[in-house]
């Protein structure tokens, strides 16, 4: 409804409890590779020459379906698993383990 946000702002107690949502289109595979490579350079996910890295990026893309928020949460889990196990290269197995341990709502 046009103007509802302005009308609700007159009632601060109600307005603070109402959220507004904007739906974004999922990222394409190329966009996801770009975001992974630029946003988390320490994970070296932009290296397309390494087979393990390419396989890991493909797994991330498959799991998240281009959902940026889910990608961020999955990367957080991947970093956590890598730190705990003292690993330096992201592999498909690490991505799968991170996905299994990720706590999310029903999908």
Q: What is the pLDDT of residues 59-91, one digit of tens each?
A: 999 999 999 989 999 999 999 999 999 998 899
Number of Cβ within a 10 Å radius of residue 64: 20
Token pair 């409804």 is found at 1
**For the chain, what is the radius of gyration of the CA atoms?**
18
| CA–CA gap between residue 79 and residue 45 (Å, rounded) | 12
Q: What are phi and psi of 87, to 5 degrees?
A: -110, 155
Give the best-scoring range by mean pLDDT among 16-20, 53-57, 77-81, 103-107: 77-81
- 38: tokens are 């630029």
What pTM, to 2 d.p., does this model score? 0.72
């Amino acid at each position: 409804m046009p103007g509802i946000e302005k009308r609700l702002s007159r009632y601060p107690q109600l307005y603070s409890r109402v959220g507004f949502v904007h739906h974004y289109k999922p990222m394409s595979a190329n966009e996801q590779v770009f975001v992974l490579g630029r946003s988390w350079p320490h994970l070296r996910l932009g290296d397309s020459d390494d087979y393990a890295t390419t396989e890991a990026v493909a797994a991330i893309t498959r799991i998240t379906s281009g959902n940026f928020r889910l990608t961020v949460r999955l990367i957080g889990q991947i970093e956590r698993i890598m730190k705990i196990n003292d690993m330096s290269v992201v592999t498909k197995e690490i991505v799968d383990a991170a996905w299994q341990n990720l706590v999310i709502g029903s999908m």
